[in-house]
């Protein structure tokens, strides 16, 4: 075990190669792998401290069962028996939809979870599936499904060959890339400018990415779709010529032109705050550069216009002549396709949306997260039990108070998690998977959004103390399938492998005449998940087709390339990759024109109240890295950014405590006055708020911060007030404080909520 090991970092989408040095059975140094075919030595602070998670004394090494309100250690047999006993009554009642499943972000970084999560879903037979995707990239899935017929066919900026990059709501210098796997984002962005190209960042904040860009354009949060519509309208001019042969495989251009008619640069200026001349100049930059590309991420997606913004990104790319062309917006050709969360009963509709009930839209089998607590409390069709896998929805979902009340009300809950965190504290049973140093790794999902076509596999460095993820998932699948806690997981492993082989046999011509027994006998791998991985690689785009293409890819071959295999840059895939019924790009999907018009009128009607937005930090990753000392040390990062002009207007100063309130809740947070955020926009990072009772996160508790999702709700807006210290001295009257608050105010109902809340706080302090 001692020596140097090569490992792909599983912490974010960048998939950096790491060199991990082990001495005396412990990791003592992690560096970037200089020979990695993709990252070439790049790593960030998180990757260099990966072993601190493995070594964390708070990390759970054994299952926990809640007894008399406290979590106590248990054996694996006891834990699975408790799961069977807890889920039994819910299953016996006969309503499979009474059990919900929440799939958190880390599942996208682990091939075992990606494969066996599907096994569990199929065994569970519920339609109540929730995932972190619906507060992340789901708008992109929806718009891609509607335009291209495939929710997973998502366009990516060809960073290494573009000469003009327009980025909206993306901050890759902190996130290291999002729905765009590209290690060393700083280096790749700098290279664009160094080869004479242009990087334009559109963001309400002057982010570190904006610092690096050639141009930073501020925009009012939530208005990206309108600005993109204005860009697209300008790009219609000359589009036919730029499209060339592509014009024969698009439909709806005339309708698109009509839908964009009102979106002049001047109209966009009135809503978005971007000068019309700037919009015209950006449109020229996109049209005049043969290699231009538009890329938008979370700031443009996590708004009520996210799907429309996502659609218009691809429209701008198409009209600029950049879609599916080198240097533009292209599509990955990964070694194998993503495994999507397939609907259990209905099947995934070709456009990516399945309507399960009369009121709830659903994409890639995942309900919107905000629907989750509603479902908990419904009298009919109530969720009675929940399985949470690698997620912390008590910190990542909007309206935390409602979410936590919903967890409290469950009959039974299981968490698969390495920490006793703000969500798993509600679980009756916690099942801890191995650390990332104790399992093999392949980025099954992320290579489908990678800007180079690569494949990299790394074996486990340490032996796991307990069962691997696939064993945990397989056991849960057997339990919900009524086989009991003692059932042999090998049954589920065989079923999973055979299901994959069978599906590949149907879709890969070279395998059509081969028997499943023959194919199964050829599969290799040290773990059940690795054997499935081998089957998928062999049947995949570069695979050996189980011997039919002897030079092709296998897991064994990949193991012989510890620094990965590079299959080259992205290459054109259209029109063959289109899965629409007519095989063409639907440039104006049904309902999108109407929604765009609605967005414009909604934005016109807004009253100018201050708007709260989030922000990323390179040392953080949602809620789950705050227990690593090296990543939380130094200056407090959970602060409210307020522009100096806004601070003066609201009489706020550095270090003051501000109350941030919406229609659903409020948090008190220290103020940081900075010109990095625009006037009228305040910024607070998410994933904090680690002071909850019943958790086991000793470091995070010392750096608790506040949970912004207490106050975030569907379409809720936020207001900021200074907390005047003297108001807490005992007079109990805060009405003057509200009345005296100058500048923008929240909507009337929020003001009333604030007035009562502040009065209550003052009274509580006084007593």
* Interacting residue ranges for ligand SF4, rule: CB under 6 A: 9, 11-12, 14-16, 43-44, 46-47, 176, 183
Question: From the CB of 214, what's the least distance to ligand SF4, in Å?
Answer: 24
Nearer to ligand SF4, 114 or 661 (CB): 114
Residue with tokens 């057997």: 478
3-state helix, strand, coil split of the chain in percent (to 5) is 40, 15, 45
Question: From the CB of 51, what's the least distance to ligand SF4, in Å?
Answer: 12
| Residues facing residue 294 across a β-bridge | 166
Nearer to ligand SF4, 33 or 672 (CB): 33
CA-to-CA distance for 763 and 744, rounded, in angstroms?
26
Closest to 493 in 3D by CA, of 480, 511, 475, 481:
475
Q: Give the rounded distance of the alpha carbon of 16 from its chain centre.
A: 18
| CA distances from residue 24 to 3, 76, 93 in whole angstroms, order as listed | 9, 29, 53
Question: From the CB of 697, what's the least distance to ligand SF4, in Å?
Answer: 20
Yes or no: say if 146 and 589 are a contact pair by the CB < 8 Å rule.
yes
Q: Give me the half-sphere count of Cα atoms (radius 13 Å) on the Cβ side of residue 305.
A: 27
Yes or no: say if 263 and 269 are a contact pair by the CB < 8 Å rule.
no
Nearer to ligand SF4, 178 or 696 (CB): 178
**Contacts made by residues 86-92, CB under 8 angstroms, sequence distance 24+:** 86/385, 86/411, 86/412, 86/414, 86/428, 86/429, 87/385, 87/412, 87/414, 87/479, 87/480, 89/411, 90/384, 90/385, 90/411, 90/412, 91/480, 91/482
CA-to-CA distance for 312 and 267, rounded, in angstroms?
17
Nearer to ligand SF4, 9 or 147 (CB): 9
Query: Using N-to-C axis directions, what is the helix angle for 224-235 and 306-319, rounded to 10°?
Result: 20
CA-to-CA distance for 166 and 93, rounded, in angstroms?
54
Question: From the CB of 4, what's the least distance to ligand SF4, in Å?
Answer: 17
CA-to-CA distance for 318 and 339, rounded, in angstroms?
27
Nearer to ligand SF4, 187 or 255 (CB): 187
Nearer to ligand SF4, 256 or 444 (CB): 444
CA-to-CA distance for 605 and 597, rounded, in angstroms?
13
Nearer to ligand SF4, 198 or 627 (CB): 627
Nearer to ligand SF4, 42 or 331 (CB): 42
3-class secondary structure, 32? strand
Token reading at 409: 């009300």
Supply φ then ψ for residue 27, to 5 degrees.
Answer: -75, 130
Nearer to ligand SF4, 47 or 157 (CB): 47
Question: From the CB of 46, what's the least distance to ligand SF4, in Å?
Answer: 4
Question: From the CB of 621, what's the least distance to ligand SF4, in Å?
Answer: 7
CA-to-CA distance for 688 and 708, rounded, in angstroms?
7
Nearer to ligand SF4, 156 or 481 (CB): 156
CA-to-CA distance for 297 and 13, rounded, in angstroms?
13
Question: From the CB of 14, what's the least distance to ligand SF4, in Å?
Answer: 4
3-class secondary structure, 395? helix
Question: From the CB of 382, what's the least distance to ligand SF4, in Å?
Answer: 39
CA-based Rg of the chain, rounded to a whole angstrom? 26
3-class secondary structure, 97? helix
Yes or no: say if 402 and 41 are a contact pair by the CB < 8 Å rule.
no
Strands (E), 123-245: 129-131, 156-157, 164-168, 198-202, 215-217
Nearer to ligand SF4, 9 or 497 (CB): 9
Q: Of all residues in this chain, which one has the CB nearest to ligand SF4 in the complex?
A: 47
Give 583's DSSP letter. Answer: S
Token reading at 423: 């969500």
Yes or no: say if 123 and 294 are a contact pair by the CB < 8 Å rule.
no
Number of Cβ within 10 Å of residue 218's Cβ equals 18
Question: From the CB of 17, what's the least distance to ligand SF4, in Å?
Answer: 9
Residue with tokens 């009509």: 258
Question: From the CB of 450, what's the least distance to ligand SF4, in Å?
Answer: 12
Question: From the CB of 181, what's the least distance to ligand SF4, in Å?
Answer: 9
CA-to-CA distance for 332 and 100, rounded, in angstroms?
32
Supply φ then ψ for residue 295, to 5 degrees.
Answer: -140, 130
In b/e form, how buried is each residue of 482-507, taking b as 16+ CB within 10 angstroms?
ebebebebeebbebbbbebbeebbee
Nearer to ligand SF4, 412 or 624 (CB): 624
Question: From the CB of 419, what's the least distance to ligand SF4, in Å?
Answer: 18
Question: From the CB of 9, what's the least distance to ligand SF4, in Å?
Answer: 3
Nearer to ligand SF4, 38 or 148 (CB): 38
Nearer to ligand SF4, 42 or 641 (CB): 42
Nearer to ligand SF4, 10 or 343 (CB): 10
Question: From the CB of 443, what's the least distance to ligand SF4, in Å?
Answer: 10
Question: From the CB of 537, what's the least distance to ligand SF4, in Å?
Answer: 21
Degrees, nearest 5: CA angle 202-205-208: 85
């Amino acid at each position: 075990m001692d020596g140097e090991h090569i490992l792909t970092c599983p912490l974010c989408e960048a998939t950096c190669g790491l060199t991990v040095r082990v001495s005396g059975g412990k990791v003592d140094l992690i560096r970037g792998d200089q020979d990695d075919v993709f990252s070439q030595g790049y790593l960030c602070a998180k990757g260099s401290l990966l072993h601190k998670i493995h070594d964390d004394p708070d990390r759970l090494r054994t299952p926990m069962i809640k007894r008399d309100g406290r979590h106590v250690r248990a054996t694996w047999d006891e834990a699975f028996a408790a799961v069977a006993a807890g889920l039994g009554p819910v299953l016996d009642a006969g309503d499979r939809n009474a059990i919900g499943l929440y799939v958190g972000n880390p599942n996208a970084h682990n091939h075992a979870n990606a494969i066996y999560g599907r096994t569990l879903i199929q065994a569970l037979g519920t339609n109540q599936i929730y995932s972190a995707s619906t507060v992340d990239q789901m708008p992109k899935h929806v718009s891609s499904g509607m335009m291209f017929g495939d929710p997973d066919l998502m366009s990516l900026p060809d960073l290494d060959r573009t000469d003009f990059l327009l980025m909206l709501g993306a901050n890759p210098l902190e996130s290291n890339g999002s729905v765009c796997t590209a290690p060393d984002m700083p280096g790749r962005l700098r290279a664009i400018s160094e080869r004479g190209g242009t990087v334009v960042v559109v963001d309400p904040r002057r982010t570190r990415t904006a610092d690096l860009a050639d141009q930073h354009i501020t925009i009012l949060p939530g208005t990206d779709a309108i600005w993109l519509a204005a860009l697209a309208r300008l790009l219609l001019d000359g589009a036919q010529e730029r499209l060339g042969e592509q014009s024969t495989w698009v439909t709806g251009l005339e309708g698109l032109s009509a839908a964009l008619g009102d979106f002049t640069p001047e109209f966009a200026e009135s809503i978005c705050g971007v000068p019309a001349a700037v919009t015209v100049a950006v449109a020229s930059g996109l049209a005049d550069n043969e290699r231009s590309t538009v890329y938008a991420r979370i700031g443009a997606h996590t708004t009520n216009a996210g799907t429309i913004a996502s659609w218009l990104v691809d429209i701008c790319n198409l009209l600029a002549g950049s879609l599916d062309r080198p240097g533009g917006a292209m599509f990955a050709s990964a070694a194998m396709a993503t495994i999507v969360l397939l609907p259990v009963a209905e099947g995934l509709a070709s456009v990516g949306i399945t309507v399960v009930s009369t009121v709830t839209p659903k994409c890639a089998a995942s309900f919107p997260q905000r629907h989750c607590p509603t479902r908990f409390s419904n009298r009919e069709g109530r969720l009675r039990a929940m399985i949470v896998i690698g997620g912390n929805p008590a910190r990542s979902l909007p309206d935390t108070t409602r979410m936590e009340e919903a967890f409290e009300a469950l009959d039974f809950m299981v968490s698969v998690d390495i920490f006793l965190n703000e969500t798993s504290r509600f679980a009756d049973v916690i099942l801890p998977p191995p650390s990332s140093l104790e399992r093999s790794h392949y980025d099954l999902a992320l290579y489908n959004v990678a800007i180079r076509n690569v494949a990299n596999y790394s074996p486990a460095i340490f032996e796991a103390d307990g069962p691997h993820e696939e064993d945990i998932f397989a056991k849960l699948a057997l339990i919900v399938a009524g086989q009991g806690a003692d059932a042999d997981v090998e049954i589920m492993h065989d079923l999973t492998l055979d299901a994959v082989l069978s599906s590949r046999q149907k879709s890969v011509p070279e395998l059509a005449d081969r028997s499943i027994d023959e194919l199964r006998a050829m599969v290799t791998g040290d773990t059940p998940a690795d054997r499935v991985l081998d089957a998928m690689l062999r049947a995949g785009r570069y695979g050996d087709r189980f011997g039919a293409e002897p030079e092709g890819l296998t897991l064994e071959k990949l193991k012989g390339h510890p620094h990965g295999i590079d299959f080259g840059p992205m290459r054109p895939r259209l029109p063959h990759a289109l899965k629409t019924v007519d095989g063409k790009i639907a440039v104006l999907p049904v309902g999108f024109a109407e929604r765009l018009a609605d967005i414009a009128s909604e934005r016109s009607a807004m009253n100018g109240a201050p708007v709260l937005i989030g922000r990323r930090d390179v040392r953080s990753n949602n809620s789950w890295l705050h227990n690593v000392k090296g990543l939380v040390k130094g200056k407090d990062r959970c602060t409210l950014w307020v522009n100096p002009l806004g601070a003066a207007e609201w009489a706020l100063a550095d270090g003051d405590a501000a109350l941030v309130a919406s229609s659903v809740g409020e948090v008190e947070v220290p103020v940081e006055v900075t010109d990095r955020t625009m006037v009228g926009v305040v910024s607070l990072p998410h994933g904090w708020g680690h002071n909850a009772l019943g958790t086991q996160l000793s470091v995070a508790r010392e750096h608790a911060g506040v949970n912004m999702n207490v106050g975030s709700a569907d379409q809720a807006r936020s207001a900021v007030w200074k907390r005047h210290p003297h108001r807490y001295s005992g007079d109990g009257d805060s009405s003057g404080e509200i009345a005296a608050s100058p500048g923008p105010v929240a909507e009337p109902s929020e003001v009333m909520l604030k007035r009562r809340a502040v009065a209550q706080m003052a009274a509580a302090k006084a007593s």
